[in-house]
Structures are given as C-alpha cells and as structure tokens.
Amino acid sequence: MSRFLAFIASRLVIAVPYLWLLVFFLVPFFIVFKISLSQSAIAIPPYLPVFRFNEGIEGLLRGLRELSFENYGWLLDDPLYVNAYLSSLKIAAVSTLLTLLVGYPMAYGMARAPHSLRPVLLMMVILPFWTSFLIRVYAWIGILKPEGLLNQFLFFLGLIDQPLIIHGTTAAVYIGIVYSYLPFMVLPLYATLEKMDYSLVEAAEDLGCTPISAFWKITVPLSLPGIVAGCMLVFIPAVGEFVIPDLLGGSRTLMIGKTLWDEFFANRDWPVSSAVAIILLLILVVPIAYFQRAQARAREEEN
C-alpha cells in the first residue's frame, strides 16, 4: 500500500512541472495560435470568435471552416514583415557578437582575478539588475542624445565640434542591447572560465605555444560551452526586443518586437499580430533546440 502511495507521490512530483508547462505555456500558445487563424473584426475582443459554443456542434464546425492561414500568407507577402524579421535577426546577431567581444575579456579578467576580488567583481556585474530595466534604458537616452552626457564630454575633451547623432539610430540599439544583456554573456562565460584548470594553459606554453596561441588553442575551445550559452541567452531575447529599439532606436530601426506592438496596439489587429508572434516563436525554437542539444552534449562530455 505504502509502495503504491510512493509511486503515486513520485508521479505527482513529476506531474507538477508538466502541468505548469501545460497551463502556462502550451495553453496560451494554443490560444494565440487560434487567434492567429481568425479574422480581425470590430468587437471586443477585436477578432471573430472561432468557437461559438452556444450554437452546438454546427457552430463549432462552422467556426473550424472559418479558420484560415490567410494571416500567415499575408505576412509572407508583405515585405514589411519579412524585412522586420530579417532586420531583427541581423541586429540580434550583431549585438550578440558585440556582447561576446565585450563580455569575454571581462569574464576572463574576472576568472583570473585574485580569489578575494572575485565576489566583488561578480557583484558589480549583477548590480545593474537591482534597477529597473526600463529606467536603465531611459538613462541611455540621457547619455546618447545630442545634448547628452556623451556629447558634452566629447565637447569638453575637444574631440568633436558637432554633436554625434547616436540616439535614434541603430547604433544606439546596439549599445542598448550590449549594455542590457552583458551580464547574461559574462556570467556563463565566467562560470566556464573559472572552472578551467589554468595548468592546461601553462602546459601549452611549456610545449611551445606563445600566450596568444595558447589562448586560441586551449582557452577558447574549452570555454565553448560558455560561449554558446552566453550567445543564446543574448540572441534569443534580443530578437524579440521591444523596449530598446522603441526608446533608443529611430523610425528606421526595424525590429519585429516593435512591429508586433504596432499591430496589437495601433492597428488593433490581433489575428495578424498573433501570427507575427507565432512565426517569431518558430524562428527562435530552432536556436533554442540547438542550445539544449549543445548543453546535453557538454554534460555527456563531462560524465
């Protein structure tokens, strides 16, 4: 009897996360998916209901017949959406690379710092999280705008006589993304670099490697799991980023998150914006799946 109870209990424990995913991920996903197949209408909510439960079986069947992938076809036809997707992927890819270039030396320096200093450095990386993300992005407006801190400082140094126009450009979006997502890059990199046995680098130098070539042949390959994890953690949210391009970017910075927002709130076209969201999800599922597999492989390697 008690064994039976234990069996039930163990199943329950496993069931909890599955239930969680079902209720908070799969069900909303299907709701959004369903809306994406519907038609926009002047109503509350602003789309044609798919299922009319009060009309019995007939109503359900009629509802099903009304479903169509028309919205998806429309998205692919309109270059605005395709360009927004491509531009989002490009901006996310470039800023991921920039974040890696800034984050790697930081993580490396932290991992090689004296033991007593490491918690402090780690704290300094995490500290910005204690302030609202929105406020931090707003602060960058104050830095980047033509009469902002950066331009004033450069004037003071005498390096420029015309203010640099950064705010409202794609460059500002890059700066914003690199700044906001840097900790997500630094932390996994630091974790792998700190674990690495430094005597491996010494062994490489002992065998004739210059310090630079030892870095490329030993340190970089061995920190690859951290590089992959950091890049995924930056790339995935950056593709759908809305706040940064909205606040720092200009009208010419095309990103899918902004398009989504406009469809929802300006056009009130829920079916199309749902379709935009579903396609965005599909685009991101591929790198996420790859990331998961890479992680699983790394774990196997360790065992």
Partner 1 sequence: MESLGSTRRSFAPWLDPNAEPYIRFENVTKSFGDFAAVDDLSLTIYEREFFALLGASGCGKTTLLRMLAGFEKPTSGRILLDGQDLLGVPAYRRPVNMMFQSYALFPHMTVEANIAFGLKQDRMPKAEIADRVAQMLKLVRLEQFAKRKPHQLSGGQRQRVALARSLAKRPKVLLLDEPLGALDKKLREATQFELMDLQQELGLTFVVVTHDQEEAMTMADRIAIMDRGKVMQVATPAQIYEAPASRFVADFVGAINMFEGEVLEAAAGRARIRDRSGVEFSLDNGGDASAGTTAWLAVRPEKVQVTRERPDGAVNAMEGEVWDIAYLGDMTVYNIRLNDGRLVKASVLNSLRRIEDALTWHDRAWISFAPDAGIVLIR
Which of 224, 247, 228, 225 lies closest to 236, judged by CA? 228
Q: How many CA atoms lie within 13 A of 5 on its CB side?
A: 2
Q: Which is nearer to partner 1, 138 or 198 (CB)?
A: 198
What is the smallest separation between the CB atom of 234 and partner 1, expressed in angstroms? 24
Q: Which is nearer to partner 1, 78 or 197 (CB)?
A: 197
Residues contributing to the site for partner 1 (CB under 8 A):
197, 199-200, 202-211, 213, 218, 221-222, 301
Q: Are 185 and 236 in contact (CB under 8 A)?
A: no
Q: Which is nearer to partner 1, 97 or 196 (CB)?
A: 196
Q: Is residue 224 helix, strand or coil?
A: helix
What is the smallest separation between the CB atom of 41 and partner 1, expressed in angstroms? 58
Backbone angles phi, psi at 47, to 5 degrees: -155, 160
What is the smallest separation between the CB atom of 174 and partner 1, expressed in angstroms? 32
Cα of 5 vs its chain's centroid, Å: 42
Determine how many CB atoms are found less than 10 A away from the CB of residue 234: 27
Determine how many CB atoms are found less than 10 A away from the CB of residue 173: 24
Q: Which is nearer to partner 1, 14 or 203 (CB)?
A: 203
Backbone angles phi, psi at 40, to 5 degrees: -70, 150
Q: Which is nearer to partner 1, 118 or 217 (CB)?
A: 217
What is the smallest separation between the CB atom of 190 and partner 1, expressed in angstroms? 19
Which of 64, 31, 25, 58 lies closest to 45, judged by CA? 31
Query: Judging by beta carbons within 10 Å of its beta carbon (0-12, 13-18, 19+), is residue 181 exposed, middle or buried?
Result: buried
What is the smallest separation between the CB atom of 284 and partner 1, expressed in angstroms? 29
What is the smallest separation between the CB atom of 231 and partner 1, expressed in angstroms? 19
Q: Is residue 47 helix, strand or coil?
A: strand
Q: Per the structure block, which two tokens stand in for 291?
A: 């990331």
Instruction: Write the single-letter amino acid at 275.
Output: A
The whole-angstrom separation of Cα 82 and Cα 85 is 5
Q: Which is nearer to partner 1, 144 or 201 (CB)?
A: 201
Which of 260, 233, 231, 229 lies closest to 245, judged by CA? 260
Determine how many CB atoms are found less than 10 A away from the CB of residue 186: 25
What is the smallest separation between the CB atom of 208 and partner 1, expressed in angstroms? 3
Q: Which is nearer to partner 1, 157 or 212 (CB)?
A: 212
Q: How many CA atoms lie within 13 A of 3 on its CB side?
A: 0
Q: Which is nearer to partner 1, 165 or 222 (CB)?
A: 222
What is the smallest separation between the CB atom of 300 and partner 1, expressed in angstroms? 11
